[in-house]
Structure 1
Amino acid sequence: MMAQELLRCEHVSKSYWDGNHDLQVLQDVNLSLNDGELLAIVGSSGSGKSTLLHCMGGLDQPSSGTILFRGQDIAKWSPRALADWRNQQLGFIYQFHHLLPEFTALENVAMPLLIQGQSAQQARVRATELLERVGLAQRGTHRPAELSGGERQRVAIARALANKPALILADEPTGNLDDESAQQVLQLMRELNAEMQTCFVIVTHDQQLAASLPRQVVLQQGELQPQQVVS
Structure 2
Amino acid sequence: MTQELLRCEHVSKSYWDGNHDLQVLQDVNLALQDGELLAIVGSSGSGKSTLLHCMGGLDQPTSGQIFFRGQNIAKWSPRALADWRNQQLGFIYQFHHLLPEFTALENVAMPMLIQGTSAQQARARAADLLERVGLAERGSHRPAELSGGERQRVAIARALANKPALILADEPTGNLDDESAQQVMQLMLDLNAEMQTCFVIVTHDQALAASLPRQVSLQQGQLQPNKVTK
In the superposition, the TM-score normalised over structure 1's length comes to 0.99
Give the structure 2 partner of residue 95 of structure 1: 94
Residues in 2 aligned to 1:146 and 1:82: alpha-carbon distance in whole angstroms: 34
Q: Which residue of 2 aligns with 1:166?
A: 165
Which residue pairs with 2:179 in the alignment? 180
**SS, match of residue 175 in structure 2:** coil
Counterpart amino acid of residue 125 in structure 1:
A
Q: Which runs of 4+ in 1 moved over 4 A?
A: none
Aligned to 2:47: 48
- Tell me the secondary structure at the aligned position of residue 129 of structure 1: helix
The unaligned stretches of length 5 or more in structure 1 are none
| Distance apart, 1:227 and its partner CA | 3.9
Q: Which residue pairs with 1:200 in the alignment?
A: 199
Name the SS for the 1:187 alignment partner.
Answer: helix
Residue 4 of structure 2 corresponds to 5
Return the letter of the residue paired with 2:209: A
**Alpha-carbon displacement from aligned partner over 1:128-171 (angstroms, at most 9, x marks no partner):** 00000000000000000000000000000000000000000000
CA distance in 1, matches of 2:121, 2:228: 42
For the residues of structure 1 that align with 2:8 and 2:152, how far apart are their CA atoms? 28
Q: Deviations over 1:18-69 (max 9, x none)?
A: 0000000000000000000000000000000000000000000000000000
Partner of residue 22, structure 1 = 21
The AA in structure 2 aligned to 1:143 is R
Give, in whole Å, the separation in 2 of the partners of 1:198 and 1:15.
31
- After TM superposition, give the deviation of residue 212 of structure 1 in Å: 1.1
Give the secondary-structure state (helix, strand or coil) at the position aligned to 1:39: strand
Q: TM-score, normalised by structure 2?
A: 0.99
Name the residue aligned to 1:210: 209
Could you say what secondary structure the match of 1:13 adopts? strand
**CA RMSD after TM alignment:** 0.5
2:214/2:226 contact within 8 Å kept: no
Aligned length: 230
Report the CA distance between 1:3 and its aligned residue: 1.1
Q: Mind listing any 5+ residue stretches in structure 2 that lack a counterpart?
A: none
